[in-house]
Every structure is written in structure tokens, then in C-alpha cells.
């Protein structure tokens, strides 16, 4: 009897929290979708994406007329995370906007390697490597080279290596290709 009461109490406590987390995550995803649309409209008019400071002014009207009010995270009240590539450009041509999902079981939070519980929207020409760099801080190479048949060759662009060893942005493969033991082998 005691276990049944304890079990029912636990289910009653956990289930509403799960529903609250799902609700927050639905708002987050909707917010990011609206931000993406506003960013794209801004880009069409200005030829750049909005300055990073605009998104940081969560609750503000900096994106008007593209968006009445810049949304804030529904749980924390904080601004959503914005990443521009390349970093530091004054006229950004690529963006990614991130949020952390509260529901750790949401499959959308598992789509970005190295960035657990992260959901993102992005401009159309942003690669997976850029998305991962923005949320994980990992520097992925724009070009990977490897020794193929004794020659240093491009093996991947803006993605993960397809064989090992590989060399980040080094089109000489560190002058290792004359040695067969450095041949790039699929893993």
C-alpha cells in the first residue's frame, strides 16, 4: 500500500514537470522559427543579418518591423544564443541561433553532435561543422586533407573526416604522404 501511494505521488510530481518542460520547449522552438524568419527578412532588406547586440536585447523592439518584440527564453528570461560565422564580421552572412531544451528526451535535442539538448535554426548556407563549432566551441576544420595513394588530397570540406589520419587545413599533409603508414584509412 505504501509503495503504491509513493509511486502515485512520484508520477503525479514527475508528469506535470515533464509537461511544463515540453511546453517551454515548444515555445523555444517557435521563438527560434520566428527569429529565423525575421533574420531572413532583415537580410533581404539590408544584405546582412542583424548585429549580435539586437538579439541580446531580449524583450526589446530592436528587430521591428521584422518582429514586434525579441523573444526571451520562457524559463530563464535570457536571450537566445546567436553565433555568426565567420566570427567578428560587421556584415554577417551566416547565422545560427541556439537554445537548450529542458526535455532531455526530445529527439530534436539529439540532432547536433557534441551539443546535447540543443536545438538550432540557421541560415541556409551554414554547414554542420559551423553549427557544431557555435554550440560546442570545438574548432572543426573547413578543409581536411589526407594521404591517398601517396598524394595529399582534399578528403572533406566543412564536415567530419572520412578517414584517418587527416590534416586540418594543411594541403601538404605535413609532408607525410611518402610514408605508406600515413595513408588515410576509413575508420
Decide: pTM greater than 0.85. Answer: no
**Domain spanning 2-136 has what CATH number?**
3.30.700
- In angstroms, the CA 50 to CA 67 distance is 12
CATH 3.30.700 residue window(s) in the chain: 2-136
- In angstroms, the CA 56 to CA 71 distance is 10
- In angstroms, the CA 55 to CA 74 distance is 15
Q: Is 39 left (phi over 0), alpha (psi -120 to 50) or beta?
A: alpha
| Strands, sheet with 95-100, edge to edge from the N-terminal-most edge strand | 81-84, 95-100, 118-122
User: Which ranges constitute the DSSP H helices of 47-145?
Assistant: 52-56, 128-136
pLDDT digits (tens, 9 = 90+) for 131-184: 988 898 776 777 889 999 999 999 988 667 778 898 888 899 999 999 999 999
Amino acid at each position: 500500500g505504501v509503495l503504491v501511494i509513493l509511486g502515485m505521488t512520484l508520477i503525479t510530481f514527475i508528469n506535470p514537470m515533464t509537461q511544463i518542460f515540453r511546453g517551454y520547449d515548444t515555445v523555444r522552438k517557435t521563438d527560434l522559427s520566428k527569429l529565423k524568419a525575421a533574420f531572413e527578412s532583415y537580410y533581404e532588406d539590408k544584405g546582412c543579418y542583424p548585429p549580435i547586440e539586437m538579439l541580446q536585447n531580449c524583450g526589446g523592439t530592436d528587430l521591428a518591423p521584422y518582429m514586434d518584440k525579441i523573444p526571451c527564453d520562457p524559463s530563464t528570461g535570457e536571450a537566445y544564443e546567436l553565433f555568426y560565422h565567420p566570427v567578428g564580421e560587421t556584415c554577417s552572412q551566416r547565422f545560427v541561433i541556439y537554445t537548450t531544451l529542458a526535455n532531455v528526451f526530445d529527439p530534436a535535442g539529439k540532432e547536433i553532435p557534441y551539443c546535447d539538448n540543443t536545438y538550432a535554426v540557421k541560415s541556409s548556407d551554414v554547414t554542420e561543422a559551423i553549427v557544431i563549432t557555435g554550440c560546442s566551441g570545438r574548432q572543426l576544420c573547413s578543409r581536411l586533407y589526407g594521404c591517398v595513394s601517396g598524394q595529399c588530397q582534399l578528403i572533406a570540406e566543412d564536415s567530419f573526416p572520412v578517414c584517418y589520419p587527416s590534416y586540418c587545413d594543411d594541403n601538404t599533409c605535413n609532408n607525410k604522404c611518402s610514408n605508406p603508414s600515413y595513408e588515410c584509412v576509413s575508420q
